[in-house]
Amino acid sequence: MVPLSWYLIFAAGLFSVGLFGVLARKNAIGILMGIELMLNAVNVNLVAFWRYREPAGIAGQVFAVIVFAVAAAEVAVGLALFISIYRRRNTIAADQIDLMKW
Amino acid sequence: MTRETLIISLIPLPPLLAFFMIILFSNRNKALSHTIAVGAAFLSWLGSMVVCFWAIQTEHLGAEPFHFQIPWLPMGDTWLNIGVLVDPLSAITLFFVAWTVLMIFVYSIGYHNFGQPKGDHDRPGLPPHGATLSDVHGHKHTVPSIEPMYSRFFAFIGLFAFGMYLLVLSDNFLTLFVGWEVMGLCSYLLIGFWYGKPSARAAMIKAFLTTRVGDVFMLLGIAYLYSQLGTLSYRDVLYNAANLEKLASTSSYIVGLSAASLIGILLFIGTIGKSAQWPLHVWLPDAMEGPTPVSAMIHAATMVSAGVYMVIRAYPIMSAGMEHGHLTPPMIAMGIIGAFTALFAATIAVLQRDVKRVLAYSTISQLGYMIAALGIGGYVAAAFHLVTHAFFKANLFLGSGSVIHGMEHGVLHTGEHVDPQDMYNMGGLRRKMPVTFWTFLIGGLALSGFPLVTAGFWSKDEILADGFAHAPLVFIVLALAALLTAFYTARQITLVFLGEPRTKAAHHAVESKPTMTLPLVILAIFSVGFGWLGISEHFPLIGGLIPNFIHEFVGSTLLEMPEALPFSIVPLLTSLVVALGGLTLGWWVYQGIKAGVMDPVEKLLGPSISSLLKNKYYFDELYHFLFVRPANWIAVTFTSLWMDRIVIDGILHGVASLTGTLGHFFRNYIDKPIVNGSGDLVADSTKKLGGEFRTIQTGRIQQYMVLALVSIGVFSGFYYFVVPILRSFLFTMGR
Amino acid sequence: MVTSIQILFILVAIITLGCALMVVTASNLVHSALWLVAALFGVAIVFAILEAGFLAVVQVVIYIGAIAVLIIFAIMLTRRIAQDSGPRFNENWGWAVVIALVLFAALGWMLASQPVAHAPLAPMDARADPLRSLGLALVSINGYVLPFELASVLLLAALIGSIVVAWEKK
């Protein structure tokens, strides 16, 4: 039997890696991929808790399903945005999209 | 208030109203102005005649005069009352004041050439110089022109009349002083009527300042009187034996003088100023700069008479403490100064060439007579002479004005440039100006004391009789003065009227208009007739035929009726000799004098004495050196230059520049750097800080996120780890 | 005593974490996307270990099949010929490392110290059908029909929105 803490640590690690990707990647799609890792880590956490605490209730899985849907939607919109930005500015490096600077 | 006091109260008002109305409304309209003025004088004259009539009818007017007073000035517990009073002295003064004022007003219409055209070059402030008219043939000739400041003149003499009426009718020393000062002001304004002339300006200031010296002492006297008795009403001061006794027995600040004597002397000094006695006589001859009606007004009818009236009124104070013929100090002073002035002025008059100057010195001399008479105890005589003098002196002055007018007509007609007032340019005017001649002759004879038919004889005789009875020295001096008076009067009449004209201007002189000659006639009538009211009982032949009205009437003003003098032939003979002798001598010396000849008296006296007399004993120069120059120095150098410009202006400029420096300092070293600087500093530092801070906003989201997460990490670490330590630390500390 | 499932789990976890690290550090973006696919696969296997079979399949189908593919499409569409590789980190990467490590440490420590983390596995009824109950829960009034419907609306909105955003105006 795998202790729950292992799953949680695994999820924390995945989340941290994803966070690193979000903060450090130049390319916007790289950032999006980091976000996906983070969402996956959340899902792992949810499912792990579902299995270890109350498998009869289905809330954990429902939550995970909703997260799937949201992630999909977000990726779609985000990529549409990136494409639109790429068309405009010919770049999707995040540190070059800085119109809101001082 | 009885009907008498009502009329009395109203008498001073018409001239005052005339003054205001002319000044405010009718200044442009000459006819309206003189109508208002003469109308006002007439109303006052009418009221005065009515009052005098009632006064004569009243028995014991001295004990129960027409009196009305109101409480006016609250002084703590008591009131100072003012009001009107007519007792015999005021009644008689009122009589001559009313007549002379009216005559002078009427005379002024003609004197200022009403009805004549406006002058060619006439300007207000200078005497009129004639208008050029051309007749049908193109002949040009110059005629006298109307005075440009015509209305102003009538306004001023209206105010003058008001002042005199107020003085005569008042019942207390305070309103007397008010009238006194009003007349002082008016004499200033009128002597300098032709203010464009520098000599007139100098004369007006001289007159005002000289009389002012006297007025200051008089005010001191009034104040001292008030402080002693607490009242200034005549009835309480002069007619109250207890008060007079108190004054006579209190000793004053000066050792040896009782309060009454000191007050008397102080009041007398006021008269010395106002009535031009020595040593304050210097203003009166210079006052001839004013128009002749003014001279008549000031020097006969009103102002100088006011001085004598005041001392006659204050006689009870002057004589308080007099025992058995011992004269009190004020009376001694009056006697000495009066007699001295009479002789002094008469000597100067002998050598004067200007027709008005002679009369001026004559006035000074005659006033000396009155004051000397009062000084030796001749109350009634002084009052009598006051009245008669007013009439004949006014007559003489107005007559001289008529003469000058005629001469000016001649000067303008011929174009000759001679002084129309110099007697040596006249002569033979009796044929050209007959009415003027006869009235002037009557006046001159009255002045000299021509026996029996002139008023001056009777009043002068009274004075000489008093002098002979009480003070022989005074008698001798006054007799000498009378001799000189007759002499210079005859000199004047001879030079002006008798003989042949000495210049072309005199040849072309014409008689003056009726507005001028009618007053002369009326005054001449009084100069003759008034004297018959005062014939002494003991006079040989005619004495006792008519009761001595003046003695009875005026004498009743005092608490004790002065006793009638015992008759003595010496003063009578002296006055006859002196008068007739002087007149004859004067006529004889000067008859037939031709033009250009030196004055015989001058030749007689020699150059040094003559120049002494002609320069009035150099008193003007002395006063100039003693008083005018130091005053000038104080004004110009001390006050204006040192105090005002150097000290005060220096302080002001110093303060101003100090303020400027301070302001500059504050502005540039405190305001700009500190105040502005701190404001700018705040703004600049905000900008700089903002500029520094805004670089945080890079527009890069990842940077924002990093910042946010780091901040959260730091704060959470602080909160979770540091705060509990601090809390436990504080907890242990709190124990 | 380390069971086989533990070993399996550790293996899968390490592989997944390694792939995730490669995702964020690959310089070539396509490589990065492919590493992502691998990582997602790993997570699917974790789901399977957790006996959430349906979710494992859904993970593969949706995440890998749709999302990762979509990401690769987007990479293709936004490529610049010469710029496939280049500096892949921005200037904050040091701070990002710090944050990630701190977060991992904090999360790990906090989660591991909770007593619930050491609770035993809850028993699951062998006859229970998680899939069936999931399906029922998603549509039952007493269940989660509302979030389900909302999620579908959200997907519709995202669909329309992305079409609108990426519409190329002519």
Question: Which chain B residues contact residue C99 at CB under 8 A?
Answer: 706, 709-710, 713
B280 neighbors B160 (Cβ within 8 angstroms): no
- Whole-number Å distance between alpha carbons of C164 and A90: 19
C93/chain A closest Cα distance in angstroms: 5
Verify whether the Cβ–Cβ distance B706 to A23 is below 8 Å. Answer: yes
Residues 6+ apart with CB under 8 A from B59: none
Residue B702 and residue A24: Cβ atoms within 8 Å?
A: yes
Q: What confidence tens digit (pLDDT) does each residue in B295-321 have?
A: 887 877 788 899 999 999 999 888 887
Joined tokens for residue B404: 């000058």
Of B430-439, B455-464, B602-611, the one with minimum mean pLDDT is B602-611
b/e burial code for range B613-636 (CB count within 10 A of at least 16 → b) = beebeeeeeebeeeeeeeeeeeee
The pLDDT of residue C1 is 63
Neighbours of A, requiring at least 3 CB pairs below 8 Å, are B, C
Question: A11 to chain B, minimum CA–CA distance in Å?
Answer: 19
Structure tokens at A19: 């966070």
Tens of pLDDT along B48-102?
A: 999 999 988 888 887 788 889 999 988 888 888 899 999 899 999 999 999 999 9
Q: Out of C92, C98, C103, whose CB is closest to B702?
A: C92
Q: What is the DSSP string of B492-541?
A: HHHHHTSS--SSHHHHT--PPPHHHHHHHHHHHHHHHHGGGGG--TTSTT
Establish if B708 touches chain C: CB-CB under 8 angstroms. Answer: no
Angle between helices B355-375 and B455-470 (to 10 degrees): 40
Task: Look at phi and psi of residue A72 and say left if phi exceeds 0, alpha if psi is from -120 to 50, else beta.
Answer: alpha
Nearest CA in chain A to C31: A30
CA angle A37, A41, A43 (to 5 degrees): 115
The closest CB to that of A94, out of B697, B700, B706, belongs to B700
Q: What is the pLDDT of residue C85?
A: 55
pLDDT on residue B309: 93
Selected for mutation to probe chain C from B702, B711, B712, B721 (highest C CB count within 10 Å) is B702
pLDDT digits (tens, 9 = 90+) for B205-261: 999 999 999 999 999 999 999 988 888 998 888 888 888 888 888 877 777 788 888
pLDDT attached to residue B97? 93
Strand-pairing partners, residue B75, are B78
C90 touches chain B (CB under 8 A): yes
Task: List CB contacts of B65: < 8 A, sequence separation 6 or more.
Answer: B85, B86, B87, B88, B90, B235
d(CA B398, CA B383): 23
- pLDDT-based confidence at C84, cuts 50/70/90? low
Binary contact (B705, A99; C-beta < 8 A):
no
Which pair of tokens denotes residue B363?
Answer: 């006035």
Which residues are within 8 A (CB) of C11 and not within 5 positions of it... i.e. 6 or more apart? none
Task: Classify B81 as helix, strand or coil.
Answer: strand
pLDDT on residue B735: 63
CA–CA gap between residue B401 and residue B408 (Å, rounded): 10
Which residue's structure tokens are 């990630």? C100
Q: Which element (helix H / strand E) includes B74?
A: strand B66-75
What is the pLDDT at residue B365?
Answer: 92
For B676, the token pair is 């502005």
Contacts of C69 (CB under 8 A, 6+ apart): none
Q: How far is C104 from chain B (nearest CA, A)?
A: 12
Output the pTM of the full model: 0.67
C15 alpha carbon, distance to own chain's centre: 14
Paired strand residues for A27: A93
Confidence of residue C89 (pLDDT cuts 50, 70, 90): confident
Match 């002035």 to its residue by tokens. B341
**Which residues on A lie below 8 Å from B706 (Cβ)?**
23
- Under 8 Å CB-to-CB from C162, ≥6 apart: which residues? A76, A77, A79, A80, A81
The helix/strand/coil state of B327 is: coil
Residues of A whose CB is below 8 A from B697: 100-102
Cis peptide, bond prior to residue B12, ω within 30 of zero: no
Distance CA B176, CA B349 (A): 32
CA A24 to chain B, closest CA, distance in angstroms equals 7
CA dihedral A33, A39, A40, A45 (to 10 degrees): 150
Nearest Cβ partner of A86 from C9, C78, C97?
Answer: C78
Looking at the complex, report in whole angstroms how far the Cα of residue B665 sits from the nearest Cα belonging to chain A.
43
Chain A residues whose beta carbon lies within 8 Å of the beta carbon of residue B709: 19, 23
What does the alpha-carbon distance between residue C168 and residue C146 come to, in Å, rounded to a whole number? 35
What's the confidence (pLDDT) of residue B555?
79
Q: How far is C104 from chain A (nearest CA, A)?
A: 6
Which chain A residue is nearest to residue B708, measuring alpha carbons?
A23
> What confidence score (pLDDT) does residue C170 get?
66
Q: How high is the pLDDT of residue B224?
A: 92
pLDDT for B711 equals 92
Contacting residues for B615 by C-beta, under 8 A, at least 6 apart: B621
Both tokens of residue C139?
């549509």
Query: Is the CB of residue C147 less than 8 Å away from at least one CB of chain A?
Result: yes
Question: Three-state DSSP class for B131?
Answer: strand
Give tens-digit pLDDT for B177-214.
999 999 999 999 999 999 999 999 999 999 999 999 99
Averaged confidence pLDDT in chain B: 87
Tell me whether A85 touches chain B (CB under 8 Å): no
Interchain CB distance below 8 Å, A100 and B705: no
Count the helices and strands in chain B (H runs, E runs).
Answer: 33, 4
The residues near B328 (Cβ < 8 Å, ≥ 6 apart) are B260, B261, B264, B318, B319, B320, B321, B322
Cβ(A68)–Cβ(A29) under 8 Å?
Answer: no
Rounded Cα gap, residues B219 and B178, in angstroms = 11
**How close does chain B come to A57, measured CA to CA in Å?**
34
Q: What is the pLDDT of residues A14-72, one digit of tens each?
A: 999 999 999 998 888 899 999 999 999 999 999 999 888 888 878 888 999 999 999 99
State the CB neighbour count (10 A cutoff) for residue B596. 7
Q: Name subunits touching C (3+ CB pairs < 8 A).
A: A, B
> 710-729 in B: which are within 8 Å (CB) of C?
710, 713
Say if the Cβ atoms of B699 and A99 lie within 8 Å: yes
Interface probe with A: pick from C17, C162, C169, most Cβ of A within 10 Å: C162
Bridge partners, residue B83, by sequence: B69
Kindly report the number of other CB atoms within 10 A of residue B254's CB atom.
12
Q: How many CA atoms lie within 13 A of C100 on its CB side?
A: 23
Direct distance between the N- and C-terminal alpha carbons of chain C, in angstroms, rounded to an integer = 67
| Domain segments of chain A as ranges | 4-96
Q: How many CB pairs (< 8 A) connect B and C? A: 18
CB proximity B622 to C under 8 Å: no
Evaluate whether B321 touches B391 at the Cβ level (below 8 Å).
Answer: no
Dihedral angle, C-alpha B463, B467, B470, B472, nearest 10 °: 180
Three-class secondary structure assignment of C104-134: HHHHHHHHHHCHHHHCCCCCCCCCCCHHHHH
Distance CA B340, CA B617 (A): 14
Angle, nearest 10°, between helix axes B150-169 and B303-313? 10
What are the pLDDT digits (tens) for B656-674? 999 999 989 988 888 888 8
pLDDT of C83 reads: 58
Confidence check: pLDDT of C86 > 70: no
With CA atoms as reference, the chain A residue closest to B695 would be: A102
Contact C92 B710 (CB under 8 A): no
C39 touches chain A (CB under 8 A): yes
Phi, psi of B453 (to 5 degrees): -85, -5
Residues on chain A touching C42 (C-beta within 8 angstroms) = none
Contact residues on chain A for C143, CB-CB shorter than 8 A: 58, 62
Query: What is the least distance, in Å, from the CA of C30 to any CA of chain B?
Result: 22
Which subunits count as partners of chain B given 3+ CB pairs below 8 Å? A, C
Dihedral sign (CA B429, B435, B438, B442): negative
Give yes or no for residue B726 having a pLDDT over 60. yes
Distance CA B16, CA B3 (A): 21
Token pair, residue C57, equals: 């399949």
Structure confidence at residue B544 (pLDDT): 65
* B705/A94 CB distance under 8 A: no
**Residue A31 distance to chain B (closest CA, Å):** 9
Interface list for chain B against chain A, based on CB atoms closer than 8 Å: 694-695, 697-703, 705-706, 709
Confidence of residue A5 (pLDDT cuts 50, 70, 90): confident
d(CA B604, CA B487): 15
Give yes or no for residue C82 having a pLDDT over 60: no
Q: In chain B, what are the helix, strand and coil shares in percent, each to the nearest 5?
A: 70, 5, 25
Task: Report pLDDT digits (tens) over B93-108.
Answer: 999 999 999 999 999 9
Interchain CB contact of C10 with B (< 8 Å): no
Angle between helices B150-169 and B13-24 (to 10 degrees): 160
Q: Say yes or no for a CB contact (<8 Å) between C107 and A70.
A: no
Q: Average pLDDT for residues C66-94, to the nearest whole number?
A: 79
Residue B235's contacts (CB-CB under 8 Å, 6 or more residues apart) are: B65, B67, B85, B171
Q: Decide if A37 and C39 are in contact by the 8 Å CB cutoff.
A: yes
**Whole-angstrom Cα distance, residue B378 to residue B311?**
12
| Closest CA of chain C from B715, distance in Å | 13
Listed by number, the residues of chain C in 68-127 with a beta carbon closer than 8 Å to a beta carbon of chain A are 70-71, 73-75, 77-78, 80, 86-93, 95-97, 99-101, 103-104, 107-108, 111-112, 116-125
Q: How far is CA A68 from the centre of its chain?
A: 10
Taking CB atoms and an 8 Å limit, are C92 and B713 in contact across chains? no
Quick check: C55 and A55 CB within 8 A? no
Distance between CA B706 and CA B704 in Å, rounded?
5
Q: How many residues does chain A have?
A: 102
Query: Which residue has tokens 């906003």?
Result: B697
Q: How far apart are CA B142 and CA C166, in angstroms?
A: 121
> With a CB-CB cutoff of 8 Å, which residues 71-110 of chain B face chain C?
none
Give me the residue spans of the domains in chain B: 327-533+541-601, 622-694, 699-734
Q: Using a pLDDT cut of 90, give the percent of chain B over it.
A: 36
> Does B441 score more than 70 pLDDT?
yes
Q: Give the C-alpha separation, B724 to B731, whole Å.
A: 10
CA distances from B122 to B119, B148, B157 (A): 5, 7, 22
The predicted pLDDT at position B303 comes to: 85
Question: What does residue B459 show for φ and ψ, rounded to 5 degrees?
Answer: -75, -40
One-letter identity of residue B106: V
For B708-720, the pLDDT digits (tens) are 999 998 998 888 8
Q: How far apart, in whole angstroms, are the C-alpha atoms of residue B252 and residue B291?
A: 44
Fold adopted by A4-96? Helix Hairpins (1.10.287)
